[in-house]
Amino acid sequence: MPKVVVLPGDGIGPEVVGAALEVLREVAPDLTLEEHLIGGAAFDAEGDPFPGSTRDALAGADAALLGTVGGAQDSAWNRLPRPQRPESGLLRLRQHLGVFANLRPVRVMPGLEHLSPLRPEIAAGVDLLIVRELLGGAYFDPRRERGEDAAFNTIGYTRAEIERVSGHALRAAQERRGGLTSVDKANVLEVSELWRETVTARAQQYPDVTLHHEYVDSVATLLVTRPERYDVLLTENLFGDILSDLAAVLPGSLGLMPSASLGAGAGLYEPIHGSAPDIAGQGVANPAGTILSVAMLLRYSLNRGAEADRVETAVQAALSAHPTRDLGGKADTTELTAAVLPAL
């Protein structure tokens, strides 16, 4: 029986994961689901945001489903030494699983264009995939340093790190519409020069993929003015973090955005939004991003594409009839989930 480790985390994490589990149990009742601690909740219980008990549970797992980690700006967790903060638990989880390719699909579902704050003719038909490198760059800089009057985080990449994530993006482009845009800052950064050169070389093996290179600042504009230009976008860790939050305005809300993080072993599935301390505990969080992450889990880790399709179609129908508050509607977490279940 496939095993999924469930990590609700902090803030709205338990609320959106609770909703997603209702859906997962319905479409895949045979799974073994095991709940464990991560983030601030894990620090409070065990003094470590990525405790040994969670690490051990992942050993035999096929996939992990994560909610969110982190507290409000003024939370006590943010005064802890960096390695003990909730976000460090998430970074260690990603590193432990070796998930270097983070897939963040951005799809405006047909009929739901009106949920976007952008003009419907801009949002209509958007279907792109951001492939974000997840284990390198400034996030995992071994030379990071905080001094009294100076601090450093270096964006460093090796050719091997760029090659492995490029392979993922090229294969994704091949399976989609054959377009790959590699996003960098090669007009200024040496690391981007290596990035561009490596992606170009790797793309030679994929003659059916059309590769373009664009600068990240320009992509930021074009993503919200002419998003139809893009099929697959490949970029480094920090650029991908920022561009994927930006791209969330296309479907209408951060709360709609799922992700899959893949490497050699178990995959990690999580919504891209944070713990939303401003609405945590109110029961109003949009669970769609987490439910759609469950669809990605079914597709990529369990090879259950038909069930994944069912979940995506049900979310689309539920959102259309019951838009949540972040989308200008009235539905709360329970109401949206209750609308997804019968539509499965």
Structure tokens at 176: 């989609």
Burial 199-225 (b: 16+ CB within 10 A, else e): beebbeebeebebebbebeebbeebbe
- Phi-psi bin for 111: left (phi > 0), alpha (psi -120 to 50), beta? left
| Binding flag, residue 241, ligand IPM (CB under 6 A) | yes
Q: Given 10, 48, 139, 231, which residue is catalytic?
A: 139
Binding mask 159-198 for ligand IPM (x = CB under 6 A): ----------------------------------------
Number of residues that bind ligand IPM (CB under 6 A): 6
Q: Is 266 exposed, middle or buried (0-12, 13-18, 19+ CB in 10 A)?
A: buried
d(CA 123, CA 108): 7
Q: Which residues sit opposite 152 in a β-bridge? A: 145
Strand 179-184 and strand 232-235: the pairing is: parallel
| Residue 241: active-site member | yes
Closest residue to ligand IPM in the complex (CB): 87
Nearest to residue 290, comparing CAs of 332, 244, 331, 337? 337
| Residue 300: active-site member | no
Nearest to residue 183, comparing CAs of 247, 90, 267? 247
| Residue 184: active-site member | no
Please identify which residue in 122, 272, 292, 327 interacts with ligand IPM, judged by CB under 6 A: 272
Q: Which stretch binds Mn ion (CB under 5 A): 81-89, 109-117, 172-180, 236-244?
A: 236-244
CB of 179 to ligand NAD, least distance (A): 28
Return all residues near 1 (Cβ < 8 A) that are at least 6 apart: 30, 31, 32
Q: Which stretch binds ligand IPM (CB under 6 A): 85-93, 161-169, 180-188, 226-234?
A: 85-93
| Residue 269: active-site member | no
Please identify which residue in 161, 236, 241, 312 interacts with Mn ion, judged by CB under 5 A: 241
Q: Given 44, 62, 141, 245, which residue is catalytic?
A: 245
| Binding flag, residue 87, ligand IPM (CB under 6 A) | yes
| Residue 330: active-site member | no
Q: Which residues bind ligand IPM (CB under 6 A)?
A: 70, 87, 90-91, 241, 272
Active site residues: 139, 185, 217, 241, 245
